[in-house]
Structure 1
Amino acid sequence: MQVKFCGFTQLDDIKAAAKLNADAIGLVFYPPSPRAVTIEQAQILSAAVPAFISVVALVVNMPEDELIELANNVPFDIIQFHGDETPEQCRQLASSVNKRWIKALRVNTEQDTLESVNMQIDNFAASGASSILLDAYHQHKYGGTGARFDWSLIPKDSSLPIILAGGLDAENVAATYDLPIYAVDVSGGIEVDKGKKDATKMRAFMKAVKHDRWQNETLSEPSNISS
């Protein structure tokens, strides 16, 4: 299970996440968000991320010229499109800065079905997405709500690897072990305040994901030692 910690604004929090071997660090470039950072802040934060930990730039309906400016000034690895971008818009925008990309789908428990979620994933896969992120739908927000959606709407046969977000923390992440996902994305569940992470919560989350899952899988493997 891969782990992405998202919504950093503090340098010390970045360093703490790196020491815990988080797989990805997310920076939010959406001004209305309380976790948003400027290009100048992002330059300082990204410089503290060691090699082999991915820096993910979360953008929401960002115009192409702004994305190009961002890419020219901040060394991020992956774009996370978290707005209303269509598959074709994602493809064009990512191509303009030569970056890999993922798309966040906000799953509406009251309206979406397995078929509709799968269809959306297929459309983004056809346009070149590297993965899909599933988050809870909110009428007025593009994410960061801390809410969960109905996990029965997660496809078992997705055409893209699935990242799960929405309302996760160290206490409930164990419930994701049997889901058809390869990564989890957490922000509010590791915070003491919006954009300010809690080192103890980050450590507990990593332990719950990495240690407990490894232990469960090890215990379930058949032994090759003959008696």
Structure 2
Amino acid sequence: MNPTVPYLKVCGMAQSVNLTAVAALQPDFLGFIFYPKSSRYVGTQLNQADLAALPAGIRKVGVFVNETVDKVLAQVAEFGLDLVQLHGQETPTECARLQAAGVPVVKAFSVGEEFSFEVLQPYVDHVDYFLFDTKGMQPGGNGTTFDWNLLATYSLPVPYFLAGGLGLEEAEALRNLRLPGLFALDLNSRFETAPGVKDAELLSQMFTSLRTCHF
């Protein structure tokens, strides 16, 4: 991983053949949604063998919404997940329990027309990353951006993933983006041909565009 460019995560993978095509692009992270109400729910379409066959260097992220800690840990063990992303109302205590079990935690927060960093403070010592997504009807994958300038004054020690409707149209703006704490870009719905199915060629164009710039 080159620290001079943003890490790249593709989230919402749900089909074996498509997973192989996207993994060939060597994203830094691949996300798998374990939330049954999501249209990108992994269900029975993926299994342990699919995830185990991923190229070395790709970190597997399990996305959960208000799931019990015990269930999350069971899924981590079953699928060999490297991180968990919590997209509900999970508490700092729950995050701390996962960390204590050796599982890195990404805690997601929805951003609307304004955002207060004060809500993050209780989590600072109990998560490895934050993720900022656009507030919408669903916990994630709503396909719309928020005003990234809201993060211009971010000063917490926790790095974060930037999500929320990032598409190829935003590539130039993202190339010129200078935000404190930015760790990775999270790509999902704007690269889909159907929920959970990504357009590998479109993703390849995005990867090429972003990996030739310096942040």
Query: TM-score, normalising length from structure 2?
Result: 0.88
Match of 1:158 in 2: 156
Aligned amino acid, residue 200 of structure 1: E
1:39–1:67: structure 2 CA closer, same or farther, 3 Å change rule?
farther
Q: Deviations over 1:157-176 (max 9, x none)?
A: 23211210001012213312
Cα distance in 2, alignment partners of residues 107 and 21 from structure 1: 29
Indicate the SS of the match to 1:52.
coil
- CA distance in 1 between partners of 2:129 and 2:174 (Å): 18
The answer to whether the 8 A contact 1:122-1:159 is kept is: no
Say which SS state the counterpart of residue 105 (structure 2) adopts: strand
Aligned equivalent of 2:129, options 128, 131, 137: 131
User: Quick one: which of 141, 145, 163 aligns to 2:142?
Assistant: 145
Spell out, residue by residue over 1:197-227, the C-alpha distance to the aligned partner (whole angstroms, 9 max, x if none): 111111111012112x14xx7xxxxxxxxxx
Equivalence for 1:225? none
Shift, 1:39, TM fit:
6.4
Question: Deviation digits for residues 92-123 of structure 1, max 9, x if unmatched?
Answer: 2443x4201111111121xx34xx22x23332
Structure 1 residue ranges without an equivalent (≥5): 218-227
Q: Residue type of the partner of 1:45?
A: D
1:182 corresponds to which letter in structure 2?
F
Show the 5 A alignment for 1:1-227.
1-38=6-43, 41-95=46-100, 97-109=101-113, 112-113=114-115, 116-117=116-117, 119-127=118-126, 129-138=127-136, 140-154=137-151, 155-177=153-175, 178-180=177-179, 181-211=182-212, 213-214=213-214
Say which is worse superposed, 184-193 or 154-163, in terms of deviation.
Answer: 154-163
Greater fraction of residues in helix: 1
3 and 106 in structure 1: CA distance in 2 versus 1, 3 angstrom threshold: same
CA contact (8 A) 2:15 2:45 kept: no
Distance of aligned partners of 1:40 and 1:189 in 2 relative to their CA distance in 1, 3 Å threshold: closer
Alignment partner of 2:168: what SS?
coil
Aligned length: 206
- Distance in 1 (CA, whole Å) between partners of 2:57 and 2:183 is 18
Aligned-pair CA distance for 1:68: 2.8
Question: What is the CA-CA distance between 1:23 and the residue it aligns to?
Answer: 0.4
Does the 8 Å CA contact 1:64/1:93 hold for their aligned counterparts?
yes
Paired AA for residue 193 in structure 1: A
Deviation at 1:33, TM superposition (A): 0.4
Q: Which runs of 5+ in 2 are unaligned?
A: 1-5
Could you give the per-residue CA deviations for residues 119-178 of structure 1, whole angstroms, max 9, x where no partner exists? 233322122x1111100112x421110111121211342321121000101221331232
* Aligned equivalents of 2:148, 2:185: Cα separation in 1: 13
Go from structure 1 to structure 2 and tell me whether the alpha carbon gap of 1:15 and 1:31 turns closer, same or farther (over 3 Å shift). Answer: same
Q: Of the two, which has the highest radius of gyration?
A: 1
* Structure 1 CA distance for aligned equivalents of residues 147 and 45 of structure 2: 38
